[in-house]
Structure 1
Amino acid sequence: MFKALPQWVRMINDTQMDSGEKLQWECKAIGRPRPTYRWIRNGLPLTSQGRVEIVNGELTINKVQQTDSGMYQCVAENKYGAIYSNAELKILASPPVFVPNPIRVIATLGKDVSLECKPRASPKPRITWKRGDRRVQPNKRIMVLRNNTLKIVNSSRADEGNYVCRAENQLGSAEMTAILWVKEAMRVVLSPSRVEVTVGESVVLSCKATHDTSLDVAFQWFFNQKPIDFQQEGSHFEYIQTVRAKQTSTVDLMIRSIFLKHAGKYGCRAQTSADTVFAEAELLVRGPPGPPGVVIVEEITDTTATLSWTRGLDNHSPISTYNLQARSPFSLGWQTVKTDPDPVTGDMESAMAVELSPWVEYEFRVVASNAIGTGDPSTPSRKVRTKEAVPAVAPSNVSGGNGRRHELVISWEDS
């Protein structure tokens, strides 16, 4: 039979607790024969009595006190030896202390507000709330949560004032004062809310916040939910400083020399010590069309190629025409080709390139135009070769039905 000294599977660790809490430690070991357990505190055997419960490797102390502090050992042993797991238990004890004190809370009219009460204390203190000299009586609108936070629902001007949280344990007591102000809700308007511009133009967005006169406002601009970096984007974006009136503050965002990439959602966030409000506007940018989709050669003859493609973005200006271009080993780059029909209008997605040369390898691409200008070309089609020239037959010197002679002349047409 296998025989072995015990080995730890689970050990105890140093622990720090508030007085009044419950300590639960467990140590576990394996060995042959199975080990037994005993507990030692400050060098003396520890047994179950009063608040202390010991069941093999499990130690429970209910409502720990300062006298429970010390060094603990769990001993696992069999006839081949003993092993020890050591840990220190520290019991914290301090009267309540608040940092900082007092606190100032600014709430928004009609919104919920929470006043926190979080003293440092051990054992955990008993908490009471007062307003002036009277204890706060919970009702449908005012309640004390489990974490001792005082919550006021649908706050009004009548809720303004001083609220006192008192914390008390057997070591002492302390009070914290929360000064509550209730202010009018801020309103923010971003104008224009939707604007269309053409590539190269400039536009100004104006963000106006109406707020309580006692509060300062901080603004931040966003583009597609991301903060605008005015240093990095300074050539296109300019932050125009705050204009402060009696109850309003206004900032402007200038967007100059606009590119297509500047289209999107622009947001203005206004923030006071009472609340935060976000407003958003949409900027549409008109520009030349985007590149059409993949060009496919549907059919090829000796002098024609039937092409199809998919529409690209019109960038808020309808596509008026398509231009078909071809490239071959004998051309100087891309050349516009004749088409059937001519012109190829913006509502079409296929056309035929005509008057091509026989037995030549071509690539094709399509370019879209609108009232703003001509966009980037599509990606080239796959390379295809036109077919060989078709022979033309002309009758000559061959006897016909009238008895005359005709000659059969065969020639090759080359476009």
Structure 2
Amino acid sequence: MLRDDFRTRPRTVQALSGDKAVLECSPPRGFPEPVVSWRKDDRELKLSEIPRMTLHPDGNLIIEPVEHGDSGTYQCVATNMVGERVSNPARLSVYEKPKFLQEPKDVTVDVGSSVLFDCRVSGEPQPQISWKKKNDQMPVARAYIAKDNRGLRIDRVQVSDEGDYVCYARNPAGSIESSARLKVQAPPTFQTKPTDQTVAHGSTATFDCVPVGQPTPAYFWSKEGQQNLLFPGHVSADGRIKVSSSGTLTIADVRPMDEGAYVCAAMNSAGSSLSKALLKLSTKGEFVVWMKFLRFFFTCTFSDLSSCPWMCVPAPYRASCSSRSF
């Protein structure tokens, strides 16, 4: 007969996949001494057919390495010729560390579009997924976990969203993480546009141009109708026309030949943009008549001897007049 109860009853066990799991059991005393066997989910375990499972002489069941499929309800059974006693059920839970099924990948998108960072994991129990933006705040109002926990979605992407996004997966067995970089493209626009200039002959004209975009756009100047491209740092042969490192076009000692439209062109991988301004020479509304190689004859009558002053553009001349009487 089997006296008393189990001296050691099986208890709930949690183990990591790949580790060793021990289900303890000390059978009740009896005469003859009872033989110990084990059941899993109400079915007898044939330990001789499962090399990973070993019955210790004291009645403990040792599983090494334990696998996810070993999870279940176990019972220790003590049997002799006069009877059988079955222990209370004990749960074996085999945890699996999180493992990536799909890691997020780097992506480049245009400003205003949407992006999905795919991040899928397996594990037991099912890992909890969370996201963070490295060294910055998440765009909370526009970022959310996609349906079916497939990844992180960001709507209406802005240039400020560019950066590294990290997917974290955690469960009681451990944690893993993987990151991906978001690059945002924005076609060039002009923070400062050139404006039309009207200047006097011989003076200096200045045109400012400040393009912005993502990535930073390259830019140059050209005169409409001409093929020469003037990049930052350009200086013309006569030194009159320069483009500064900041993009300002300067034309010194302006001449009639300089009149026309000047175009600032900016471009990057997302697109291109143009802005132009006109250069004109100013006039004072005067007519200047030049008379060369002409001879003038004047007859002057004066009451006394004197001279007659005359002014001719551009220089003054003095005409001598004789005193005659008519």
Q: TM-score range by the shorter chain?
A: 0.3 to 0.5
TM-score by length of 1: 0.33
Name the one with the larger strand percent: 1
Q: Answer with 1 or 2: which has the greater Rg.
A: 2
Identify which of structures 1 and 2 has the higher relative contact order when contacts are C-alpha pairs closer than 8 Å and 6+ apart: 2
